[in-house]
Amino acid sequence: MPEDNLTGCYVLSFEIPEHFNNRDLFIDFAGVESCFYLWLNGKFVGYSQDSKLNASFDITDYIQTGQNHLAVQVMRFGAGSYLEDQDYWHLSGIFRDVLIYAKPRMRIHDYKIETLFPGDYDNAELAVTVYPNNQASCYGEAHVRLSLYDHDRELVTQFETPKFADFRSYLQDNYVAKVKQTIKSPQLWSDEIPYLYKLVLEMIDPDGNVVDIESANVGFREISIDNTGILKMNGKRLIIRGTNLHAFCPETGRVVSTEYMSEQIKIMKSLNINAVRTSHYPHAVEWYDLCDELGIYVVDEANIETHGIGGQLSASPEWTHAYMERAARMVLRDKNHPSIILWSLGNESGYGANHAAMYGWIKEYDKTRYVQYESLNPPANISDIMAPMYPQKDWIVECMTSSVDLRPFIMCEYAYAKSNSNGNFKEFWDLIYKFPRFQGGFIWDFQDKALVRHDESGNKKYVYGGAFQEEIIDPAPDMCLNGIVFPDLTLKPAAYEIKNVQAPVQIDYVKRHYDVPGIKSYRIYNHYTHRDLSHLDIGWELVCDGKVVENGTLPRLHTPAGAIEGLQAPYDPTKVSGEAFLNFYACLNEDTYYANKGTCIYACQVELKDSVHEIHTGDIQSGSLAYEEAANRIHIYNENTNVVFSKETAEFISVRYNNQDYFTGGANNFYRPPTGIDAGVPGETLNYADDWRSLGLDSDQKEIKRIRVYAAPASVIIQVHVLYHGCIETRTEYAIGGKGIEITNTVVNNANVDTLPRIGLSFTFPAAWKSIKWYGRGPWENYADRKTAALVGIYESSVKEQHVPYIVPVECGGKEDVRYLYVSADDRKVKVTSAGHFHFDIHQHSIGQYNNAAYEDELGTSDSVFLHIDYKHAGLGGDTGWTKNIHDEYKIEKGIYVYKITLEIVD
């Protein structure tokens, strides 16, 4: 242990109420990081060092009449710290509730509830094991009455155990009551319909008095794995739409209120998330109660991660007891929660005999659940599930097509959501829907884990590693900013993609060369496990050239869970014109606790076969122009046009029409402010950002080879030949007309990098240009590998709203598949078009300002608007946060790229 071991000392005086007299007293610490000693009235009571599980002490013999004095010494580091090396904020102290409670000497010590299904799901067995306090006199003569109530508090059944003394057999648990009761036609529990019963257990002494009462929620459900390796819930294939979750709140750190947990679950459910892995430790007991009630599957994870020293402890017999204790105590505490479907042996600790011991104990104690563990892909004597983190698609397909290992395949971590990320998400889900044994996974992770600081004026700021001048900072200081929601629980744009791609309802269109009578080309897939689609209204729109020309709602569907149903095309074919799409929307038809009636849970866009594409081009010609060429500039003009092009920088330094400023710039641009995925782990792993900066893409390195100007009918042509960064050659032709500029560009990319971030042009407008309107994907930010949820349409917004408030400012606000864009300021307007679709982003801050800012408030001020028009913009990646993982189809590799864009002045 470090010599300087930060220590907190806590003291409290209290009195015991009279009704606690003649009872056994206990104190329970729900969470203390990382270890502590306890004294009561000057006497040493005990020590605990698992920071994420309840530590309970019997203090009956330490209590005195009147004032009692409690003292707790909490240390930042203890022996258990070797097992608690998770990648997160390490915050020490007492962070969960401390409770003193009293129980009668004759009491229920523990109980285990299991729901068993010996046949089909028409009937169930309620199996209950009750452990009495065997320190009480005559406890063997006591028994327990059990009462099961339904959700409406109506009694379902009531039965009693024989007295504990009757439960005796050779070499078995003696004086432990084990009973079963058949429950006919039980309502089943699932994430979709989390129906809960209430079981009340009453301890009855030999005189017939009720001396102790316990109660628990009961969910009748069965988790099984069939002989093909498919994990099932109540006999149906289970799809895990999961997320990892740290117990964290930006205002209170490790202290998380029940209200805050409930809000987290509400947002998860609204994003079609149905499962949580408690990374990487057990959470507070209130979390599991909420998951039982609201319908979230849980992978309950032991508080074991030896990341810093590798896997050497996992095979050490000296550490076996520590491993076993953490696993057993977790299971004993949480065993009665129906939401828990899998136990996890921890995270990133290698694997060894200690994991096998944990697995063996859990599987013998709890035969109703399975065990998972990831590190190094352990064999079946350690994990019932193949639970890899960040697997590559090729390996997934290899596993799915192999019969060597038929365990269910569920990614314990994938889709690293740091910064502007989550590209390629749909590609994983295409495989999940293709291979039954590939059953989903847990996104890393749910929420950006930033802490709140306030400045001298009281303004709130979310901060990350290094903000507190810590001595030890991760090589990627912002590594904890890897959620699909921001610290304040508002959605990142990627959340919309995740919601849509993993939605439990999907619609597609089967392309046919000709119509077949009676065959419906549109299909709806019900990926729910237990419910039909009658809770949804399926709306539709016929959209032509971005405008809705017809809409309606399909008849109510009752498609069973797991089924596919054909849909009749609902629109009038005679109304189809131009570029046409059919949009479908699946919306809730009643209020839920997490969303109001009418909330869309899924949207789909299908391009119609009768769609006619149009090349959107601008008209730049309006009268003849003259030009004057000087040593350092070219001046193009007529009565209403005044354009100045710099021969020193190869870009426009003034574009004026009708005596008003429009824009400047027009130079080639190949750089973007690196995202968290682009940056990777600086100095430790290869990453795109270092490659781009080494090449000089973040600077204005260019060699102007030649500039030529000549007059053409109704325009002036400037031809520019430039070599950027010694390896990217451009031949750009600017045709300046009386009402705009047409730019034709040939880019020869010989850059020795995996991908360029973009190929495009940059323009600067005055600050008054505040409004935009575009026909393309929207309304939220989207990129080449993250765009399926952003439907093609006509959208209007402001330049200010294009900024996405990532804690570390990065590339943001991009829009894909754009047909045209209007940028406007009051009565002035510029229309941007291209021979094909293009990508754009527009901001109040420059690329350089984004590139240099560590926080949003460091972006500074600007009196300009910066528009970037890209022929191609690279994907975001996001398979991991420390490798180069933009997929090949979304890269901008070596090659020749030719494109044309037009900026038209619109009257």
* Tokens coding 867: 């528009």
Bridge partners of 300, per DSSP, are 343
* Tokens coding 418: 């740091």
Question: What span, in angstroms and rounded, lies between the C-alpha atoms of 103 and 400?
Answer: 53
Question: What span, in angstroms and rounded, lies between the C-alpha atoms of 797 and 779?
Answer: 8
What separation in angstroms does the CA of 632 have from each of 613, 729, 764?
43, 22, 20
Q: For 501-625, list the strands marked E by DSSP.
A: 505-509, 522-526, 536-544, 547-553, 564-567, 580-588, 600-607
Q: What letter represents residue 510's amino acid? A: V
Question: What span, in angstroms and rounded, lies between the C-alpha atoms of 82 and 309?
Answer: 8
What separation in angstroms does the CA of 19 have from each of 23, 25, 73, 210, 774?
9, 11, 29, 16, 71
Mark 441-470 as b/e (b = at least 16 C-beta within 10 Å): bbbbbbbbbbbeeeeeeeeeebbbbebeee
Bridge partners of 824, per DSSP, are 771, 829
Question: What span, in angstroms and rounded, lies between the C-alpha atoms of 758 and 871?
Answer: 8
855: buried, middle or exposed (CB in 10 Å: 19+, 13-18, 0-12)? middle
* Tokens coding 848: 């350089």
Question: What span, in angstroms and rounded, lies between the C-alpha atoms of 679 and 884?
Answer: 9
Active site residue 629: no
328: buried, middle or exposed (CB in 10 Å: 19+, 13-18, 0-12)? middle
Angle at 370 between CA 366 and CA 373, to 5 degrees: 120
DSSP state letters, 433-486: HH-TTEEEEEEE-SB--PEEEE-TT--EEEE-TTTT--S---SSTTTT---SB-
Question: What span, in angstroms and rounded, lies between the C-alpha atoms of 425 and 394?
Answer: 15
Catalytic residue among 301, 305, 348, 742: 348
The number of residues in the chain equals 907
Q: What letter represents residue 714's amino acid? A: A
Question: What span, in angstroms and rounded, lies between the C-alpha atoms of 147 and 155?
Answer: 7
Question: What span, in angstroms and rounded, lies between the C-alpha atoms of 700 and 648?
Answer: 12
* Tokens coding 17: 């109420």
* Tokens coding 154: 């109506």
Question: What span, in angstroms and rounded, lies between the C-alpha atoms of 497 and 535?
Answer: 22
Question: What span, in angstroms and rounded, lies between the C-alpha atoms of 710 and 19?
Answer: 100
Assign residue 884 a region (left: φ > 0; alpha: ψ between -120 and 50; beta: otherwise). Answer: beta
Of 500, 514, 565, 575, which is closest to residue 541 (Cα–Cα)? 575
Query: For tokens 């010996």, what's the residue?
Result: 118
Q: What letter represents residue 201's amino acid? A: L
Of 494, 386, 496, which is closest to residue 444 (Cα–Cα)? 494
Question: Are 385 and 410 in contact, with CB atoms under 8 Å apart?
Answer: yes
What separation in angstroms does the CA of 509 have from each of 213, 520, 546, 613, 670?
58, 9, 20, 19, 37
Contact residues for 808 (Cβ-Cβ < 8 A; gap 6+): 419, 464, 478, 481, 676, 853, 854, 855
Catalytic residue among 114, 305, 374, 413: 413
Active site residue 811: no
Active site residues: 348, 413
